[in-house]
Amino acid sequence: MIQVAFQGEKGAYSEEAALQYFGENIAFKPCYSFQEVFEYVTDRKVEYGIVPVENSYTGSIVDTFDLLLNYNVNIVGEKILRIKHNLIANKGVSLPDISEVYAHPQAIAQCDVFLKKIGKKITPFYDTAGSVKYIKEKKLRNAAAIASRYAAEIYDMNILAESIESFSSNYTRFYIISLKESVKGLKNKTTIVFSIKNIPGSLYNCLKPLAEAGLNLSKIESRPDRKKPWEYIFYLDFEGVKDDPIVKQALIKLEAETSFLKILGSYPADTLII
């Protein structure tokens, strides 16, 4: 049975994404934080971890990027999950009874239109499914939570409002991390992180070898270098695998232009199904 760590309680979107990626034969390890997921993987307590990396509405999950830099794990896969948020409460509770809504900050941001409309007090919580579990255990009659239908079913709760996300095209991309290497797929992607030299044209010089090799860049993200104020680290996705001769040569040329380069993984790319 495959062992997978994820952040949150049972019913979290990360668990749902893992079920879609791995199938039903999984032994889950719920974790309080993203860092704990990485630690479980690096300490070999689980074979895999799953962490969100970006949302189509609210953007990148910066904690995940920072942890990828600091832990020696491989990205071995990705899963794109359609996120449908629901307002969930204890049975017998109706919307007029609600004065407070518990939700993860990402869920709050993704449901901002609905939340402004109902005008309730918003209380940030560490996890979507965890917020449902909390109001269930506390038997709160004046509170609701934002989470998935899956979470409502697990905790036997009532859905007061369905699909409350601000945009129907609400997707979250998850990375599958492991100490193992990935197996190639039909369409592959490579993720790298690098820092640039503090000279004019440095970023251009770094990207030039990839362009000359005909590699299609699908994402570039900058994060502050915490060791060097006002300098930045760049995360980049491109189509291809690291052991392809063309990719190898491009990365050699890229590394010569950087002050630091780390290949985070080559893995099968997921396809967005709308």
What per-residue confidence (pLDDT) applies to 77? 96
Q: How many CA atoms lie within 13 A of 145 on its CB side?
A: 31
Which CATH number covers residue 25? 3.40.190.10
What per-residue confidence (pLDDT) applies to 231? 81
List all residues 6 or more positions away from 54 whose beta carbon is below 8 Å from its beta carbon.
Answer: 60, 61, 172, 173, 219
For residue 240, being part of any structural domain is answered with yes
What per-residue confidence (pLDDT) applies to 89? 98
For residue 251, being part of any structural domain is answered with yes
> What residues are annotated to the active site?
172, 174
For residue 273, being part of any structural domain is answered with no
What per-residue confidence (pLDDT) applies to 273? 60
Which CATH number covers residue 214? 3.30.70.260
What per-residue confidence (pLDDT) applies to 68? 95
Q: What is the mean pLDDT of each run of 10 residues along the chain (274 residues)?
A: 94 95 91 96 97 93 93 96 97 96 95 96 95 97 97 96 94 96 84 91 94 95 84 93 95 94 95 67
- In the sheet where 188-196 sits, what is the strand order? 217-224, 232-239, 188-196, 258-268
Burial (0-12, 13-18, 19+ Cβ within 10 Å), 113: exposed
Q: Which of 143, 178, 213 is a domain's end point?
A: 178
Q: Does residue 113 sit in the same domain as residue 143?
A: yes
Name the H helices within the chain.
Answer: 13-22, 34-42, 62-70, 105-110, 112-118, 128-137, 149-154, 202-212, 245-257
Q: Which of 116, 150, 178 is a domain's end point?
A: 178
Please report the sign of the dihedral spanned by the C-alpha atoms of residue 21, residue 23, residue 25, residue 26: positive
Number of separate domains in the chain: 3
For residue 236, being part of any structural domain is answered with yes
Structural domain boundaries enclosing 115: 86-161
Q: Looking at the whole model, is its pTM more than 0.85?
A: yes
